[in-house]
Amino acid sequence: MGCVSSNLVKQEEELRQQIHMVSLISSSYGLLKLDREEEEEEEEKGRWEAMFEKICPPKGEKRVVIYTTTLRGVRRTFEACNAVRAALEGLGVMICERDVSMDRGFREELRGLLKGKGKEAIIPPRVFVKGFYIGGADELLKLMLAHEPLLRDLLQGLPTKPVGSVCHACGGFRFFPCFTCYGSCKTLVSHHHHHHHQGTTLFVKCTRCNENGLVLCPLCT
């Protein structure tokens, strides 16, 4: 009886040691895998830094940002913006589109990002991916033709969007008329004087919207 108990204790100890060894191996493998993934991520980042300049728009670290115009005044520019938008949407990636013709703030933002690169550089469309400046329509389309697998690697991990789908809030327009001034860019402010029963009412510039009386869609911008 004592011999049987001794054998059981011995077997339990051996099993405990085996479980401990498996746990150590699993932990070590997990750490090695994590290190390898970090190394691969750094290598990929270095490869893109060698190809493209690191210029990151506000909140553009983990998204595709394109600066466009919807004005048809210059047909070539308008069509180039449409081509870039269609090409990126065809890859199934979600786009943060910033229309410089609809919001002066985006226009100033683009000028600040590409300051010193000349007037041609700030003509839309301009494409940024994960904080890397890709360029205009020509640069993006050349990249897609010659290095599409590399571009897909860069887009990996970004939010996706089914082809043909639109934002259910704004219908793809990316803007709403201001809910405060209803697009007039002006609001009424009443001032009451201490020594007079009657106050004065003034029109002041609305602080909630842009110069066109529009506010950004909170869901898709």
Q: What angle do CA 149, 153, 29 make, to 5 degrees?
A: 125
> What would you measure as the largest C-alpha separation in the chain, in angstroms?
107
Q: What angle do CA 58, 60, 65 make, to 5 degrees?
A: 105
| Tokens encoding 176 | 């709403």
> Which structural domains are found in the chain, ordered by start?
54-155 (3.40.30.10), 175-216 (no CATH)
Q: What is the DSSP letter of 59?
A: T
pLDDT tens-digit profile of 137-169? Answer: 999 999 998 888 888 889 999 999 887 888 888
pLDDT tens-digit profile of 50-72? Answer: 889 999 999 999 999 999 999 99
* Interior/surface letters 172-202, b for 16+ CB within 10 angstroms, e for the rest: eebbbebebbebebebeeeeeeeeeeeeeee
Long-range contacts: 23-27, Cβ < 8 Å, 24+? none
**Amino acid 140: pLDDT:** 95
Q: At a CB cut-off of 8 Å and minimum separation 6, what does 201 contact?
A: 188, 189, 190, 191
The answer, yes or no, to whether residue 16 has pLDDT greater than 80, is: no
